[in-house]
C-alpha cells in the first residue's frame, strides 16, 4: 500500500504546479495536457505485457525495479531544460508506476486470507487518490521553500528511502506461482489467453472510461480554479486534494457493497451515470463556484465505486490463477489508455472552443459508454 501511495505522489505532484511548468518551459495548455498524460503512455502500450512479465519474473522483483525507475525519473526531471526532456522523464516515471501497480495486487493476494481478498483489494484501490491527495495537501507547504524542481527531488529522496525499507520488509514473501524464464512465446501465449477472454476485455474497457474522466477533471481542476475564479495556488491545490480524497471513500464503499452482495455491473453503471451528470455541473457556464465544486466532489465520490469493482474483479475474471497479474495488466492498460487520451483531448476542446463547457459533452459521452459497457458485463455469466 505504501509503495502505491508513494507512486501516486508522482501523479499528484503535477496538477498544482502545472502553471509554473508552463511558465518555465513556455508551453501551451495542450502541451501541459501531455505532461499529465505522458506518465501513462507506457501503460497504454505495455500494460498487459507488464502483467505477464510480473507473472514470469516475480512480482516483488518487478515492484522494486519500478520504484527504481521512478527514482531515476524524479531526479532527472528536476533538471529538465525543455518540454521534451520533462516528457521523457515523465515517461520513465510512468514505466516505474506501471511496474508497481501491476505487481502489487498479486502480492496482496498472497498475504491475506482468501475471505479477505475482496476487501483487501478495495483498500489497495485507494492508493491513487490517497497518494495524489496527500501530495496536493503537502505541495503548497513545500512550495514556500522550493520550486517545482525541488518537489521532484524531494520525491526522489522519499522513493529511495522507501525502496530500502520495502526491500527488507518484503524479503520473505513467497510467490503464489513459481517464476520461470521469460520466453517470448510463453509471454505471448499468456497475453493472447487473457485478451481473448471477454471478462478481462470488458474490465479493461470500463477502466478506460473511468480513468479518462477522472484524470481529465482532476488534472485540470487547479487550472480551472485559477483561471475561472482567481483562487490562490494553495487554495486551488487543497480544493483539488479534497476532491481526490473523497475518491477513497468511494473505493471503500465499493468494496463494502460488493461484499454485501451488490452486483459489479450495477455499481459500475450507477457510478458512470453519476459521473456523467456531474460533468455537466462541473463545466456549467456561468454557474456558481459551489455548483462546480459540488459536482467535482460527487464526481470523485461516485467514481471511486469503479476501481473497487474493476480491480477487485481481476482474480475472479482471470483465465487462470497464474494470470492474475496479466489480467490486472490489461485492466491497467485500459486505465492508462484513458489517462493518455483524456487530458490532451479536454485541453484541445477547451482551447478550440474557448470555453470549459465543451468538457461537459465530452465527458458525458464517455460516461454513457461506461454505462453501456456495464450492461455488457451484466450479460456475461456471473462469475462472482
The answer to whether residue 179 is domain-embedded is: no
Low-confidence stretches of the chain (pLDDT beneath 50): none
Residue 178 counted as domain residue = no
- Residue 51, pLDDT score: 66
pLDDT of the residue at 104:
84
Q: What is the DSSP string of 54-69?
A: HHHH-HHHHHHHHHHH
Q: What pLDDT, on a 0 to 100 scale, did the predictor assign at position 381?
A: 57
346: CB partners within 8 A, 6+ apart: 33, 216, 220, 358, 359, 362, 363
Q: What is the total count of domains within the chain?
A: 1
| 180 in a structural domain | no
Q: In this predicted model, what pLDDT tens digit does every residue of 352-378 receive, in sequence order?
A: 888 878 888 899 999 999 999 999 888
Phi then psi dihedrals of residue 333, to 5 deg: -60, -40
Q: Closest Cα partner for 80 from 164, 152, 31?
A: 152
Residue 122, in any domain of the structure: yes
In the prediction, which pLDDT does 373 show?
A: 94
Q: Is 13 helix (H, G, I), strand (E, B) or coil?
A: coil
Give me the CATH number covering residue 148: 1.20.1250.20
pLDDT of residue 248: 87
- Classify residue 182: in a domain, yes or no: no
For every residue of 240-292, DSSP letters joined together read: HHHHHHHHHHHHHHHHHHHHTT--HHHHHHHHHHHHHHHHHHHT-TT--HHHH
- Determine the pLDDT at residue 270: 95
Domain of residue 83 covers 2-169+187-379
CA distances from 337 to 139, 328, 362 (A): 27, 14, 16
Instruction: Return d(Cα 204, Cα 329) in angstroms, integer.
Output: 9
- Taking only the tens place, the pLDDT of each residue in 232-286 is 888 988 998 899 889 889 988 988 898 888 888 999 999 999 999 999 888 887 7
In a domain, residue 177? The reply is no
User: Does some domain include residue 384?
Assistant: no
CA 307 to chain centroid, in Å, comes to 9
109, 315 contact by CB (below 8 A): yes
Prediction pTM value = 0.76
Amino acid at each position: 500500500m505504501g509503495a502505491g501511495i508513494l507512486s501516486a505522489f508522482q501523479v499528484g505532484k503535477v496538477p498544482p504546479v502545472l502553471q509554473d511548468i508552463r511558465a518555465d518551459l513556455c508551453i501551451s495548455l495542450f502541451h501541459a495536457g501531455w505532461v499529465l498524460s505522458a506518465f501513462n503512455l507506457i501503460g497504454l502500450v505495455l500494460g498487459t505485457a507488464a502483467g505477464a512479465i510480473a507473472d514470469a519474473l516475480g512480482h516483488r522483483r518487478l515492484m522494486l525495479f519500478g520504484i527504481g525507475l521512478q527514482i531515476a525519473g524524479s531526479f532527472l526531471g528536476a533538471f529538465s531544460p525543455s518540454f521534451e526532456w520533462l516528457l521523457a522523464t515523465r515517461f520513465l516515471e510512468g514505466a516505474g508506476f506501471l511496474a508497481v501497480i501491476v505487481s502489487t495486487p498479486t502480492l496482496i493476494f498472497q498475504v491475506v486470507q482468501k475471505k479477505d481478498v475482496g476487501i483487501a483489494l478495495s483498500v489497495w484501490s485507494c492508493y491513487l487518490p490517497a497518494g495524489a491527495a496527500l501530495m496536493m495537501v503537502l505541495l503548497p507547504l513545500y512550495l514556500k521553500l522550493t520550486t517545482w524542481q525541488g518537489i521532484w527531488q524531494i520525491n526522489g529522496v522519499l522513493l529511495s528511502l522507501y525502496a530500502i525499507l520495502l526491500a527488507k520488509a518484503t524479503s520473505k514473501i513467497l510467490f503464489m506461482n513459481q517464476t520461470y524464464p521469460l520466453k517470448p512465446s510463453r509471454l505471448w501465449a499468456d497475453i493472447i489467453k487473457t485478451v481473448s477472454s471477454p471478462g478481462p476485455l470488458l474490465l479493461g474497457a470500463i477502466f478506460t472510461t473511468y480513468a479518462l474522466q477522472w484524470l481529465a477533471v482532476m488534472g485540470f481542476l487547479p487550472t480551472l480554479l485559477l483561471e475561472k475564479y482567481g483562487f490562490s495556488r494553495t487554495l486551488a491545490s487543497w480544493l483539488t486534494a479534497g476532491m481526490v480524497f473523497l475518491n477513497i471513500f468511494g473505493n471503500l464503499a465499493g468494496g463494502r457493497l460488493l461484499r454485501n452482495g451488490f452486483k459489479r455491473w450495477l455499481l459500475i453503471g450507477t457510478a458512470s451515470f453519476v459521473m456523467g451528470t456531474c460533468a455537466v455541473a462541473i463545466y456549467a457556464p456561468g454557474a456558481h463556484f459551489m455548483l462546480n465544486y459540488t459536482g467535482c466532489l460527487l464526481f470523485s465520490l461516485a467514481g471511486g465505486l469503479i476501481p473497487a469493482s474493476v480491480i477487485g474483479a481481476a482474480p475472479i475474471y482471470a483465465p487462470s490463477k497464474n494470470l492474475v497479474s496479466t489480467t490486472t495488466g490489461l485492466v491497467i492498460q485500459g486505465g492508462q489508455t484513458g489517462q493518455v487520451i483524456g487530458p490532451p483531448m479536454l485541453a484541445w476542446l477547451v482551447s478550440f472552443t474557448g470555453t470549459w463547457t465543451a468538457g461537459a459533452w465530452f465527458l458525458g459521452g464517455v460516461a454513457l459508454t461506461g454505462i453501456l459497457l456495464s450492461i455488457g458485463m451484466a450479460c456475461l455469466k456471473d462469475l462472482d
